[in-house]
Amino acid sequence: MAIREVIKGWQKSLLKSKYGNSGGDSGVSSFEIGTDFIVLKFAGSFRTYRYSYRKAGQHHVETMKRLA
């Protein structure tokens, strides 16, 4: 199995939680929360974005987790 297929399968299995979008304007369609990260998928895109404590900062990641 090619690495690209493995990554696509991993992304599909990860993003099982539907985003609440309480404000109605986030653009996020689904997410997965880890201990020190959050992975987001935006509506209209097949890409996922991982925000970690190391890159985005703990405060920002925890805020995204709370809003999810």
Radius of gyration of the chain (CA): 12
Q: How confident is the model at residue 61 (pLDDT cuts 50, 70, 90)?
A: very high
> What pTM does this model have?
0.67
Q: What's the Cα-to-Cα distance from 26 to each of 9, 21, 22, 35, 67, rounded to whole Å?
A: 25, 6, 8, 22, 10
Tell me how far apart the alpha carbons of residues 35 and 25 are, in angstroms, rounded to a whole number. 26
What tens digit of pLDDT does each residue of 27-43 get? 888 888 999 999 998 88
7: confidence class by pLDDT, cuts 50, 70, 90? very low
Check whether 59 has a pLDDT greater than 90.
yes
Q: What is the pLDDT of residue 37?
A: 93
